[in-house]
Amino acid sequence: MRAVESVASFFDRDSHVTLFHVGQDSSALCRMNSPELTPLFKHEQSEFCTLEDKKRELVEIALQNARQVLVDSGFDENNITIRHEKAKHSVARDIINEATSNYDVLVLGKRGISGIKDFLFGGTTQKVINHVDNVSVFIVN
């Protein structure tokens, strides 16, 4: 939420803002159904899909809360767009593709939730910074 608060603090209230979230597409795993699947797998699959549904709900709530932060800061709600996409390639690649489509500034958090994963494999923010062209990037700690 710090990235949104930074937008609210630093950017002009007449700006158009897109709150963009890319999530992994797990729908194929949730639709998987075969007589060969063990009862244990089916149970784990059900638990996983329930968690994925809950995660989607929480992301939607977070995006709506982010919208409200901007509106409360004086942004016109008609200038705020919320987009929640399933990853087509990778999260970083999809953000880069979106950012280069017609944005002036890309605002990202410095790191995601998993510090260990980011350290070992390079976080989404790092990948975006290294590969995005022709778009200014604003990093929030």
Give the pTM: 0.79
Instruction: Give the residue numbers spanning the domain of 90.
Output: 2-140
How far apart, in whole angstroms, are the C-alpha atoms of residue 128 and residue 97? 10
Cβ pair 84, 60 in contact under 8 A: yes
What's the one-letter identity of residue 106? L
Query: What domain count does the chain have?
Result: 1
User: Which CATH number is 105's domain given?
Assistant: 3.40.50.620
**How far is residue 17's CA from residue 106's CA, in Å, rounded to a whole number?**
10
pLDDT tens-digit map of 61-105: 999 999 999 999 999 999 999 999 988 999 999 999 999 988 999
How many Cβ atoms are within 10 Å of 97's Cβ, its own excluded? Answer: 13
